[in-house]
Structure 1
Amino acid sequence: MVGCCIWGRSWVGWRRGPGVRAALAAAGFGTKAGHQLQPQGSSKRSGPRRDQPCPGLLRPEDLSREELVDVLTAAVVDQKGPLVTVNKPQGLPVTGKPGDLTLLSVLPELSQSLGLGERELQIVRAPGNAITDGIPATSEGKIQAALKLEHIDGANLVVPVKPPSRKDILEGVKRTLSHFRVVATGSGCALVQLQPLTVFPSQLQVHMVLQLCPVLGDHMYSARVSTVLGQRFLLPAESTKPRKQVLDEALLRCLRLTPSQAAQLPLHLHLHSLLLPGPRPRDTPIELLAPLPPYFTKTLQCLGLRQQ
């Protein structure tokens, strides 16, 4: 199977090919084709941590490589043909620096554990819902931006480029597009449904920053949004260093968090659903659903946001 992602409004397509080379990883989702499967749990849990805003998040630093493979093997909720569905534990990064313990780094061992032999697993992702600090100016629309990766102060960061020249495009600048729709608002925040129509690292995070509404828990790009006399504006991306997200006192009270706890908030960007076409044109599509993780649900309740 050659994993072929086609980003549309609510689906990912794939085509047949030799071998099994696709894995779908998302936070806590099951499979639905007329019904929804409940994800399997894992017996391995990290211990409690003081001042932790989201108890139960996985701490990869507490696990060995072998233990992480065991956790992921237990988290497989569906395996059909070329598609393996994994309930990725919250707190486990998908990618990282060389030597980091990530989902990508243990895919070869996971493939062996699942009996796939030398067949390669690949990750397919498509975040769908986000809780934002701030409310977009319009209830729905599209976000277009030319983006590029730049190495700034030892980190690879995504920065917007306007307007991109032909030389910029040849040097790695990509025109990106996302659709958004505000689902609910409350306490100065919004629950936003996002659909990327292009693929670029951190695309949705940067797109929401350009809307002056950074994703809650975005400790990489939220610093680009500043406020003076209650008015938000963008700081230059090239000269703004990443830092822990700073939330105002009213929002901290709503979330029942201290500033130090807010600095540990996970990114509130969550894959909601994917619709896969069946193997044959008349087959019923397979819908993969991602139940909200506990911390996401808790935040919705604290902010009075109700998902439609």
Structure 2
Amino acid sequence: MKGKRREKNSSLKKYIVAARYDGMELEQYLKEVMSVSARQRQKLFFSRGVYVNGSSAHTKRVLKAGDMVAIRQFKDTSYGVVPEEGRVEVLYEDAEVIVLNKPAGMLVHPAGQTSTGTLANYLAYYFKQQGQVVTIRPLHRLDRDTTGCVLFAKTAGAQGKLEAMLATGQLHRKYGAVVCGDGALLQEKFPAGTINLPIGRNPLQPNRRQVMAGGKEAVTHFEVAKRGSRYSLLQLSLETGRTHQIRVHLAHAGCPVAGDRMYGSRSRDIRRQALHGRELEFLHPASGEPVVVKAPYPEDMQVLLDIIDAE
């Protein structure tokens, strides 16, 4: 009976080993060809959910061209967070992924003392209203007061492939930031449009980050898209994803994000840091086709853009 319930709640994902993978070990094949994450591989082998030619197989099994590799995929049985009624703005959705437009003042998922009122809680409720049980799997996060695109995987398989893309720089995140000043100082200090400065935790204020020797590598690319005397609009992309990376780099360069009270100063024109996840670009985990999703600037940032345009 237990075995029947197991089969009913799962399915097999099958691959035929191509000639170029002849001689590859099974775990390496799952990682490199099937894009199964380390955590998923551990669970699959522990539960004997990996098969070669119909028989359960171990991690070091050497594959031959023409072998059939199958992994057991279980249907989601929980959301992973408490569903909570709230509005979500869907920018893109299909059977594998969903992209939401996160508003300001909200965490992506529960953390620390915050267990409700997050984008993940509201997304769980969105799925529940559709009669679906989908575990909430955010691929990345934005700071509480940063707005814009957030990508979630709807299946474990999609999660593994997207995590691999994120780790290898194939998942591209682009941001828009309104900064103080005309951007001339930034371009003078970094004429190539790249800030490559290590970031670490502030030893006196652990919730803050700073540019420091011995910190982790952090690379931010930028260009000045609009220039004004009070504010300028930057378009940015990241090679790394350090906490507060854009905000720390720009503040260190003397060009802080407008309204950033942690790394800059308050602004009379906006009540939060003017930073927005403008665009996501990735290869679809099922089809391999490129997907580009954009989020419009929110109203409070549009006020700053209007100020730039009026000058």
TM class by shorter chain equals 0.5 to 0.7
Are positions 1:302 and 2:307 aligned together?
yes
1:128 to 163, 175, 186: 175
Provide the identity percentage: 21
SS at match of 1:193: strand
User: What does residue 113 of structure 2 align with?
Assistant: 98
Measure the CA separation in 2 of the matches of 1:161 and 1:84: 36
- Aligned pair in 2 of structure 1 residues 116, 201: CA closer, same or farther (>3 Å)? farther
Measure the CA separation in 1 of the matches of 2:279 and 2:193: 20
User: What does residue 164 of structure 2 align with?
Assistant: none
Displacement of 1:218? 0.8
Measure the CA separation in 1 of the matches of 2:132 and 2:216: 35
Measure the CA separation in 1 of the matches of 2:136 and 2:114: 20
SS at match of 1:152: coil
User: What does residue 195 of structure 2 align with?
Assistant: 143
CA contact (8 A) 2:179 2:256 kept: yes
Deviation sequence 1:57-105 (CA, Å, 0-9, x none): xxxxxxxx87x53323xx3343212211223233323365413644266
CA contact (8 A) 2:120 2:136 kept: no
Measure the CA separation in 1 of the matches of 2:75 and 2:202: 34
Are positions 1:192 and 2:234 aligned together?
yes
SS at match of 1:296: helix
Measure the CA separation in 1 of the matches of 2:75 and 2:212: 38
* Amino acid of the structure 2 residue aligned with 1:149: R
SS at match of 2:246: helix
1:258-273 correspondence runs (5 A)? 265-273=271-279
Deviation sequence 1:289-308 (CA, Å, 0-9, x none): 111111111111123279xx
User: What does residue 203 of structure 1 align with?
Assistant: 245
* Amino acid of the structure 2 residue aligned with 1:93: L
Displacement of 1:269? 0.7
Give me the CA root mean square deviation: 3.2
Are positions 1:293 and 2:298 aligned together?
yes
Runs of 5+ unmatched residues, structure 1? 1-14, 22-64, 165-172, 223-244, 248-256
Runs of 5+ unmatched residues, structure 2? 1-33, 37-72, 77-81, 141-149, 151-172
CA contact (8 A) 1:127 1:269 kept: no
SS at match of 1:206: helix
Q: Count how many residue pairs are aligned between Structure 1 and Structure 2.
A: 198
User: What does residue 24 of structure 1 align with?
Assistant: none
User: What does residue 159 of structure 1 align with?
Assistant: 210
CA contact (8 A) 1:129 1:271 kept: yes
Displacement of 1:199? 0.9
SS at match of 1:69: coil
- Aligned pair in 2 of structure 1 residues 180, 88: CA closer, same or farther (>3 Å)? same
Deviation sequence 1:14-43 (CA, Å, 0-9, x none): x8655799xxxxxxxxxxxxxxxxxxxxxx
SS at match of 2:218: strand
* Amino acid of the structure 2 residue aligned with 1:177: V
Measure the CA separation in 1 of the matches of 2:203 and 2:128: 35
Q: Whose relative contact order is higher, 1 or 2, with alpha carbons under 8 Å and at least 6 apart?
A: 1
CA contact (8 A) 2:90 2:101 kept: yes
Measure the CA separation in 2 of the matches of 1:187 and 1:194: 20
Q: TM-score, normalised by structure 2?
A: 0.54
Deviation sequence 1:87-129 (CA, Å, 0-9, x none): 3233323365413644266268445445442523214354511
Displacement of 1:198? 0.4
Q: Which deviates more from structure 2 when the two are superposed, residues 206-215 or residues 87-96? A: 87-96
Q: Which deviates more from structure 2 when the two are superposed, residues 265-274 or residues 80-89? A: 80-89
